[in-house]
Amino acid sequence: MLTLHTTRDPVVPRFHQTLYGSLAPEQWLVQRTVNAFGHCQFNQQEMLTAFDDLVLWVNDGVRPAGGDATIRQHPWAVPIGIRPAVIECAEE
């Protein structure tokens, strides 16, 4: 199992990751964090990398690394789960 958790999640506090880690068998658990505020505020590359690493682990036995999995993107990149507001302008 590979978990992905934001460092500043107001819905699921980070200590839950520690508790989960103490209950799950170590050989079957890899935990990663993403330096971000919000619940599940991962960018597309962070999610795809985690999924690819999980598939590689299951198929080929290559255990992924845990720890910080933050992938910096351009400042204007929109995290998954956030929908930009649509601003309509009246024509003059």
User: What pTM was estimated for this model as a whole?
Assistant: 0.71
pLDDT by residue (tens digit) across 21-63? 889 888 999 999 999 999 988 888 899 999 999 999 999 999 9
State the total domains in the chain.
1
Mean pLDDT of 86-92: 49
> What b/e sequence results for 17-53 when a residue is b if at least 16 CB atoms lie within 10 Å of its CB, and e otherwise?
beeeeeeeeeeeebbbbbebeeebbbbeebbebbeeb
pLDDT by residue (tens digit) across 68-85? 888 875 555 555 554 444
- Is residue 55 domain-resident? yes
- Is residue 81 domain-resident? no
pLDDT at position 49 is 93
- Is residue 57 domain-resident? yes
Range of the domain at 51: 2-68
pLDDT at position 69 is 85
